[in-house]
Amino acid sequence: MPTDWRRALAIVAHPDDLEYGASAAIATWTDEGREIGYLLATVGEAGIDGIAPAECGPLRVREQRASAAEVGVTSVEFLGYPDGVIEYGTALRRDFAAAIRRHRPELVITLNHHDTWGGTAWNTPDHRAVGRAVLDAVGDAGNRWIFPELAEEGLSPWDGVRHVAVAGSPHPTHAVDASAGAERAVRSLLAHRTYIEALTDEDPERYCRTFLDGMMAAAGRRFGGRPAVAFEVFSH
């Protein structure tokens, strides 16, 4: 995994998207003194069947902030796109490009933009739209003539993104040793407690541990044996 970066911005669709794996890598990176911010397109208000959106949104914002804090991330922003029906387009690209110009990261992290998680496990429309718009917005952020209104608002172009790391991709190219971050990754996923309690009858901690251990062991089998988080990395 590239190490030639100091600042990262993680852009995903929903609360919990980064906690199903990526947060183990994020914990090891914040340990090294790297700066990481989170930007979420939605507040995840449509994510829990038994809780209406007006109540669910604020609750998931609180859980996401607590979850980020477990892995050393304090900057968490929400764009407020409608959960479940995000449309790929220039509005999304503009908002992501604006955030990239504000944060000036060398690494951008996002979640699987492919149609599936591998095989026939269909991905969700929000993940596809957001992931693709993130990959596109990296170019937009560096070009002053795309979204010229951003420069007028004082957001100068930023062409310093060297890599985009896609978590959960069915085509991983790189991996991070997750040994040091694994325990905090479990706590960060567990922080989405209301969501997880609605998702499964299993004990929440056992559910988080089983899922993450399995995922990190599977990545480790391909990348040198130790528990790992795998990414598909696009370099510029």
**What does the binding site for Zn ion look like in residue numbers (CB under 5 A)?**
13-14, 17
Shortest separation between residue 236's beta carbon and Zn ion, angstroms: 25
Pick 67 or 177: Cβ nearer Zn ion: 67
Q: Name the residue type at position 207.
A: Y
Give me 95's structure tokens.
């908002």
Question: Any idea what DSSP says for residue 82?
Answer: P
Pick 30 or 42: Cβ nearer Zn ion: 42
Shortest separation between residue 124's beta carbon and Zn ion, angstroms: 6
Shortest separation between residue 42's beta carbon and Zn ion, angstroms: 9
Pick 126 or 140: Cβ nearer Zn ion: 126
Shortest separation between residue 14's beta carbon and Zn ion, angstroms: 4
Shortest separation between residue 227's beta carbon and Zn ion, angstroms: 23
Pick 101 or 128: Cβ nearer Zn ion: 128
The three state secondary structure string of 170-220 is CCCCEEEECCCCHHHHHHHHHCCHHHHHHHCCCCHHHHHHHHHHHHHHHHH
**140: which residues sit within 8 A by CB, 6+ positions away?**
93, 94, 96, 97, 146, 147
Picking from 91, 172, 93, the residue whose alpha carbon sits closest to that of residue 135 is 93
Pick 56 or 155: Cβ nearer Zn ion: 56
